[in-house]
Amino acid sequence: MADLTSNFIGIKSPNPFWLASAPPTDKEYNVRRAFDAGWGGVVWKTLGEAGPPVVNVNGPRYGAIWGADRRLLGLNNIELITDRPLEVNLREMKAVKRDYPDRALIASIMVPCEEAAWKAILPLVEETGADGIELNCGCPHGMSERGMGAAVGQNPDLIEMITRWCKQTTRMPVIVKLTPNITDVRLPAAAAKRGGADAVSLINTVNSITSVDLDLYAPEPTIDGKGSHGGLCGPAVKPMALNMVAEIARNAETADLPISGIGGVTTWKDAAEFMALGAGNVQVCTAAMTYGFKVVQEMISGLSQYLDDKGMALDDLVGRAVPNVSDWQHLNLNYVTKAVIDQEACISCGRCYAACEDTSHQAIDMSEDRVFSVKDDECVACNLCVNVCPVENCITMKRVEPGEIDLRTGKVVPAAPADWTSHPNNPMAVRAAE
């Protein structure tokens, strides 16, 4: 099997799969079970400053969204940082690191925006033997109302300031965890880099209300008749996470900033996609909470097999897709495709016909005996039929090369202008001219 040994910003672990800072990493018992199951590292649930304890709600803490088969697509949590005493967490972290020296142990930290508060907690964390720290600049609920979490992550100046305080104070590598609840994630990433961050991790959870109780007329989860926005995680946020990782990886100012990818990683394929878009490793939460810690074993075997099949090393995968992430105006307008239906695989459900006839380009024909075929002269290759078809690979897109006949027009497929960026029909060129 391919060697999955990871060296992320100098932090070594037997594989690139870490548990994210969350309930699964809240105590020694959980973390030991995780390491025994095969996880390469953990980010301990966020620590706060010593003093009055954090008090969590005692009612439901999670809302959820499900697919039609009740597969969990997302969790919306209103849980705060650890509510266990700081000294207990530190003692347990030290014991775990002593017994699992080959695993990565990262301390997530969130304290007020005061230099003294950061400089007080960092030496205490160092004494545990932790391999690094993650600055929680992303929590969107509870702590943000107190001027921490996302309240910091939405302010690049604060990110830069706190990162610099930590880099000046600790020997440990510093990872800055970014919030997705912002217009342009490149700005806080650049701020973290200016502050001296060794890496960024993203995404934290997305502000959300997943459902409303229509008897109580309150958001769920409901606490004594009221609810609050929470943080959404799980497969539902993966597309947003992939995009934000890619934006940082392809931005000239942050392209060399290491990334720990977070957001809906459930399978080895999810992890490989994050890494192809620039993540050096991945962090997981919802998948472990849904399926248990042993889910990592499938991730390990699957990624190993994929790398073997490709003849690649782990480092070869990181960033491999970044050069192919393009702005729209640079896409190849000479690339033309048409839909093709495999009649042997077709189950005659009619989804493609209904979707195309009602909401697209009326490019699918239905015969009296419910045989569906594509009208090439109307097909604009939107791909909707492929996405609504319940049979995998029943409908595919066939490329039409420039010079072939486009049956929609009856003419030879023309080549787009060589310099499309300056073509008068390009909206970006029109905007620039204006």
Residues 353 and 225 in one domain: no
Reply yes or no on whether the pLDDT at 142 is more than 60. Answer: no
Residue 430 has what pLDDT? Answer: 45
Do 276 and 347 belong to one domain? no
Give the distance, in angstroms, between the CA of residue 90 and the centroid of all CA atoms in the same chain.
Answer: 29
Residues 198 and 318 in one domain: yes
Residue 348 shares a structural domain with residue 311: no
Q: Are residues 131 and 21 in the same domain?
A: yes
pLDDT bucket at 419, cuts 50 / 70 / 90 = low
Task: Supply the CATH number for residue 279's domain.
Answer: 3.20.20.70
Q: What confidence score (pLDDT) does residue 245 get?
A: 98
Comparing 19-23, 135-139, 163-167, 407-411, which segment has the lowest mean pLDDT? Answer: 407-411
Burial class of residue 67, CB neighbours in 10 A (0-12, 13-18, 19+)? exposed
Are residue 285 and residue 341 in the same domain, yes or no? Answer: no
The answer to whether the beta carbons of residues 182 and 152 sit under 8 Å apart is no
Helix (H) or strand (E) holding 431: helix 427-433
Are 66 and 213 part of one and the same domain? yes
Summarize the confidence of residues 300-314 as an average pLDDT: 97
Q: Can you give the pLDDT at residue 222?
A: 87
What are the structure tokens assigned to 20, written together?
Answer: 């994210």
Domain assignment present for residue 1? The answer is no
User: Which helix or strand (DSSP H or E) is residue 119 part of?
Assistant: helix 115-126
3-state secondary structure of 284: strand
Q: Are both 283 and 424 inside the same structural domain? A: no
Residue 401 pLDDT greater than 70, yes or no: yes
User: Could you give the CA distance from residue 83 to residue 56 in angstroms, rounded to a whole number?
Assistant: 7
Dihedrals φ, ψ of 35, to 5°?
A: -65, -40
Q: Coil, strand or helix: which one is 25?
A: helix
pLDDT of residue 132: 98
> Above 70 in pLDDT, residue 422?
no
Lowest mean pLDDT among 200-204, 304-308, 355-359, 406-410: 406-410
Give the per-residue pLDDT at 11.
98
Please give the model's pTM, rounded to 2 decimal places. Answer: 0.89
Q: Where residue 149 falls among pLDDT bands split at 50, 70, 90?
A: low
In the numeric block, which tokens belong to residue 378? 């109307």
pLDDT of residue 198: 98
The pair of three-digit structure tokens given for residue 89, joined into one six-digit string: 């967490």
Strand arrangement of the beta sheet that strand 206-208 belongs to = 62-66, 72-77, 230-233, 206-208
pLDDT given for residue 138 in this prediction? 72
Structural domain including 183 reads 6-324
Do 80 and 60 lie in a common domain?
Answer: yes
Task: Specify the pLDDT at position 377.
Answer: 86
Q: Chain-wide mean pLDDT for the chain?
A: 90
Q: Is the pLDDT of residue 51 over 70?
A: no
What's the whole-number mean pLDDT along residues 205-223? 91
- Domain ends where: 324, 349, 372? 324
pLDDT of residue 203: 95
* Buried residues in 312-347 as b, exposed as e (16+ CB within 10 A): eebeebbbebbeeeeeeeeeeeeebebbbbeeeebe
- Please give the tally of structural domains in the chain: 2
pLDDT for residue 98 is more than 90: yes
Q: How many helices and strands, by DSSP H and E, does the chain display?
A: 14, 22
Compute the distance between CA of residue 429 and CA of residue 426 in angstroms, rounded to an integer: 5
Q: What is the CATH number of the domain that holds 366?
A: 3.30.70.20
Question: Same domain for 184 and 314?
Answer: yes
**Which is more confidently placed, 246 or 432?**
246
Host H or E run for residue 280: strand 279-284
Residue 44 has pLDDT above 70, yes or no: yes
Q: At what angle do helices 295-310 and 28-37 cross, to 10 degrees?
A: 40
Is-cis flag, bond preceding 140, omega within 30?
no
d(CA 7, CA 40): 11
pLDDT for the residue numbered 59? 72
Q: Which is higher by pLDDT, 408 or 383?
A: 383
Would you place residue 53 in the very low, low, confident or very high pLDDT band (cuts 50, 70, 90)? confident
What pLDDT score was predicted for residue 409? Answer: 59
Q: Are 262 and 253 in contact (CB under 8 A)?
A: no
Strand partners, 364: 374
Round to whole Å and give the CA distance between 272 and 314.
Answer: 10
pLDDT over 50 (residue 431):
no
pLDDT tops 60 at residue 169: yes
Domain boundary among 324, 358, 376: 324
Q: pLDDT tens digit string along 65-83?
A: 899 889 989 888 877 788 8
CA distance 351 to 68: 17
CB-based contact 336:397 (threshold 8 Å): no
Specify the pLDDT at position 411.
61
Instruction: Identify which of 334, 321, 353 has the alpha carbon closest to the alpha carbon of residue 400.
Output: 334
What is the pLDDT averaged over residues 12-20?
A: 98
Q: Does the pLDDT at position 433 exceed 60? A: no
d(CA 142, CA 162): 20
Q: How confident is the model at residue 90 (pLDDT cuts 50, 70, 90)?
A: very high
Alpha helices in 322-383 (DSSP H): 351-359
Query: With contact defined as beta carbons under 8 Å apart, do 293 and 39 qualify?
Result: yes
Percentage with pLDDT > 90 across the chain: 71
- Structure confidence by residue, pLDDT tens digits, 57-67: 877 888 888 99
Check pLDDT > 50 for residue 383.
yes
pLDDT over threshold 60, residue 432: no
Show which of 324, 341, 357 is a domain's final residue: 324
Contact call for residues 356 and 395 (beta carbons, < 8 A):
no
Catalytically annotated residues = 139
